[in-house]
Structure 1
Amino acid sequence: MPVEARVLREVCGHYPTGVAVITCGGAEGEEPVGVTVNSFTSLSLDPALVLFCVHRDSRALAAVQGVGAFAVNILASDQAGLCRAFARRDTADFAELPHGPGATGSPVLSDALAFLECRLHAVFPGGDHVIVVGEVIDLGLLREEQPLTFFRSAHPKLEVLG
C-alpha cells in the first residue's frame, strides 16, 4: 500500500528545518520570482554546491531554468511574515521589499540572515517535485540573528544553550 500523503507530511513535520526564500530575476520583461522552501541544504564543499526542492509546476522552477541562476535567502527568526508571503501561489511583490540584485541578477533580500547566489548546475526529477542543484558563486552573512525554523507547521524560536 502506498503511504498516504497526509501521514507523510505529518511525520516529516516533526523534523525541524530552516526556512529560505529562493529568488530569481525574471526573464527579459518579467518580474522577479520567489518561493519559500524548507528543503534547502548544502551538498558539496568542492565544488561548492547546494540544493533545494520545489514542486515541478512551480513558477520559480520555470524562472530558474529560464535564467539559469538563483539566490537562496536564509530567513531570520523575525521573518515569518516574509516566509508566508512567498509561500503563496501569488508571491510577495518585490517592489515592496528591500532587496538588490546579486552577482547573477537574482534578488538578494536585504533583511535576510544570509544569502547564497548560484548558477544552475543540475535538475533531477523527484516525484511531484524537482531537485535543483546550484553552484555557489557568491555568498554572505547579512546580520546576526537566530534563523527562522519550521516545525509542525509553526515557527518556534530556538533555545540556545550556552
Structure 2
Amino acid sequence: MTRIRITVTINGAVVERAVDPRMLLSDFIRHEARLTGTHVGCEHGVCGSCTVQVDGSPVRSCLLFAVQVDGREVRTVEALAAERDGALHPLQEAFHAEQGLQCGFCTPGFLMSVEPVLDRVEEMDDAQIRALISGNLCRCTGYEGIVCAVREAARKMASPSRSRPGGAS
C-alpha cells in the first residue's frame, strides 16, 4: 500500500511521517509521536478516552485517520503538563482535589473534552457540566467527583488572578 507523507503539529512540535492511509490518529499519536497520554478504549468513538483537540476542538482520535489532520494542529493531554515551577493546570488540580479520577484511564479524554470550553466560560451549573461530559465514559468514579472538579476548575480559571490564554486576564 502506498504511504502518504503528512505533517502534523502536536503540542507545538512538528511531526512528519509517511503513514498508511488507514492509520488512525490515535495510533499516530501513540506510535509515531510517542505520546501515550491519549488512551484507546472502545475504538468506536463511544467512550471518549481517546479525545484530543484538533484546531482547538475536541475530537475522537479513534474516528479520524492521521491523513485527515495533515497540516493541522493537534493538542493532547501532554499539553496540559505541569508548568516549570511544578504547578499543574487548574483542571488537573481540580481533578486531583475533587477526586475526579480513580484509575485514570478515562481522565485524559475528560480533560481534553472540557479544557477548551473552560477557556471560554466563567461559570457552569451542574446540568451544563453533565451535558459537557456526556460523551465521556468512566467506569470508576460515579461522575460526581468529575462534575465537582469541572465546577471547581471553571471557578479557578475564571478568577481574575489567573492569566487567561492569549494574554488576557
Q: Name the TM tier (shorter chain).
A: under 0.3
Answer 1 or 2: which has greater helix percent: 2
Answer 1 or 2: which has greater strand percent: 1
Determine which structure has more spread, i.e. the larger CA radius of gyration: 2
Which of 1 and 2 has higher RCO (CA within 8 Å, sep 6+)?
1
